[in-house]
Amino acid sequence: MTVSTQPHAPSASLPVDKGGPEQDSPAKREFSANQLLLGAFFGVIFGFLLQKGGVAKYHILVGVLLLEDFTVVKVMLTAIIVGSIGIFSLHALGLVKLHIKPTRYAANIIGGLLFGVGFALLGYCPGTGAAALGQGNWDAIAGVLGLMAGSYLFAECSAWLGKTVMKWGDRGKLMLPELLGMRLSAFLLIFVPVLIVVLVAVDRFTAR
């Protein structure tokens, strides 16, 4: 009888291929007219849906931050529930690769809070800002210029940030089931119903 001497590895509980490194590989960078066209096509649908969902409207986006309009929460939670089931099903069938973003505690928290402050000041986020511009909210033009300026400002600081903040608490491609030491399927069986209950509660207890 052999006794496993392998130390407890969290990843052992989660036999999931989380995709390769997120950097651009030469193959990815290779010009592909088809993919550009597909990107534009998916963008049109994305923008169409955002506008129809009301999340290109200033008052609806600021409304969620004032906790007075929960349209954004309803859109996001439904997308997460449907997408989670869909993506993990496709992945189980071997049809898609996952694209797990790295967990970096300090960068996620500091960047997230900065993003939030900017979100309230602008009233649109990067995706909904494009949609707001499309529906004729011209103030989004200033937002788009700011988004480009902020991106470049980050690039200016990227060498330093990469050596400091982005190294603090870098956990790599960490997933919730892994953090809790659960199998993916077991986690989803609990997680998806919990999200549905939250969604029903939000629907039941909010006016919009």
Partner 1 sequence: MQSIRSRNNESEKVMKTILLMSIGLSALSPLLLSAVAPGTHPRDYPGPAWSPYLVGGLIGVLSMFTFYFSDKPLGASTGYARLAGLLGRAVAPKHTDSLKFYKDNKPAVDWEVMLVLGAILGAFLAAWQGNELTGEWLPAMWAARFGAGSLTLRLGAALVGGIFMAFGARLAGGCTSGHGISGTMQLSVGSWIAVICFFAGGIATALLMFRF
Name residues contacting partner 1, limited to 114-143 (CB under 8 A): 114-123, 125-140, 142-143
Please report whether residue 23 would count as binding partner 1 according to CB under 8 A. yes
Q: Angle at which helices 126-135 and 140-163 pack, to 10 degrees?
A: 160
Nearer to partner 1, 13 or 126 (CB): 126
Task: Give me the least distance between CB of 15 and partner 1, in Å please.
Answer: 15
Residue corresponding to tokens 């000041």: 121
Contacts (CB under 8 A) with partner 1, residues 31-50: 35-50
Residue 152 sits in the site that holds partner 1 (CB under 8 A): yes
Which of 12, 17, 92, 145 touches partner 1 (CB under 8 A)? Answer: 145
Q: Which of 146, 107, 149 is nearest to 123 (CA)?
A: 146
How many residues sit close enough to partner 1 to count as binding (CB under 8 A)? 135
Closer to partner 1 at the Cβ: 5 or 32?
Answer: 32
Question: Which of 25, 26, 23, 79 lies closest to 49, judged by CA?
Answer: 79
Closest approach of partner 1 to the CB of residue 139, in Å: 5
Task: Name the DSSP letter for residue 121.
Answer: H
Q: Report the residue number, 1 or 93, with the smaller CB distance to partner 1.
A: 93
Q: Give per-residue burial for 79-97: e unless 16+ CB within 10 Å, then b.
A: eebeeeeeebeebeeeeee
Closest CA to 10 of 183, 168, 170, 169: 183
Of positions 92, 109, 186, 190, contacts partner 1 by CB under 8 A:
109
> Closest approach of Cβ 178 to partner 1, in Å?
8
Report in angstroms how near the CB of residue 57 gets to partner 1 at its nearest.
7
> Closer to partner 1 at the Cβ: 4 or 69?
69
- Structure tokens given for 88: 């993990």
Q: Is 73 exposed, middle or buried (0-12, 13-18, 19+ CB in 10 A)?
A: middle
